[in-house]
Amino acid sequence: MVGFPVLLVRLDFVNGDRYSRRQKRIMMETGVRQLPRQQQAAIMALQRNTGGEPILDILRTNGFGIEIGEAQYLALFTEGSRVNHNCRPNAFWRYVNSKMAMEVVALRDIRAGEEIAHSYAPLGYTYAERKAVLQAWGFRCTCALCSAPLAERELSDRRRERLLEVHQTLGQASGLSDHRVDELVLEATRLIAQEELYPQLVEYYQQFAKAYLMTGNLRRAREFITKADKTWQLYGGEEHENVDGMRELWRTLEEAEGDALDL
């Protein structure tokens, strides 16, 4: 699904105190009144959870954070805002800056009649962390993962906590052997599959590559930089947020390969 914002408001206007509540209400109402009636109705039908001025409440509850010209905005997409939450989502959203478009993209095959959902909380969070984040939306998640028996939920939390430990350990890989890095890479890949955290492969592939660069295994580093590049484009599109980071990683590898040839 592709949608475009019906409302864009700078974050410092939403959260700042430069304008009074009355001034904010007047400006927001004036802006919304300029929209077609169908869009006005779609906006006012959205959920409100934070209290205060109605349109700002709708924006805080349903808006997506985007960046335009290094300024932070809340963007309201009337269709995208109706996609519900699931801690094990079958879709994700991404913002395409050049088109000012929100894309909702499938993570896997979706069965006919299955609800499309993305995660409101960052992927990889434990049950308690997800619960704290979701309080901002005023609901308690009852997805299959959160409603699972306690033992199953605790197992999931341990996997997620261990995945973070592996990421941190690989960040200090200069003191590790190639064999140990191999073991950690296999463990992290298995944990991601078990928890269905596939979008996190973008950062883990990068971390794997950096670890192999630290140990001097340039063949494996190139393998995972290639995977990271492809995975970023898969989940983030051509304009993904880490384009510059990937370019820098490729430069680092090419410099290391050049130094190795000179030896």
Cβ atoms of 157 and 194 closer than 8 Å:
no
Read off the pLDDT of residues 177-194 as tens digits, 9 standing for 90 and up.
999 999 999 999 999 999
Give the DSSP H or E segment for 57: helix 54-62
Q: β-pairing, 117-118 with 84-85?
A: parallel
Average pLDDT score, the chain: 92
Token digits for 189?
Answer: 């890949």
Q: Residue 137's pLDDT band (boundaries 50, 70, 90)?
A: confident
Q: Where are the domains of the chain?
A: 2-118, 150-262
Phi and psi for 9 in degrees, rounded to 5?
Answer: -135, 130
Say if residue 73's pLDDT is above 80: yes
pLDDT at 263: 62
Token digits for 185?
Answer: 């890479």
Q: Residue 135's pLDDT band (boundaries 50, 70, 90)?
A: confident
150-to-85, 127, 156, 191 alpha-carbon distances in Å? 21, 10, 10, 19
pLDDT at 139: 84
Q: Which residues 6+ apart lie within 8 Å of 212 measured at CB?
A: 173, 178, 181, 218, 220, 221, 224
CATH number for the domain formed by residue range(s) 2-118 = 2.170.270
Residue 106 CA, chain-centre distance (Å), reads 14
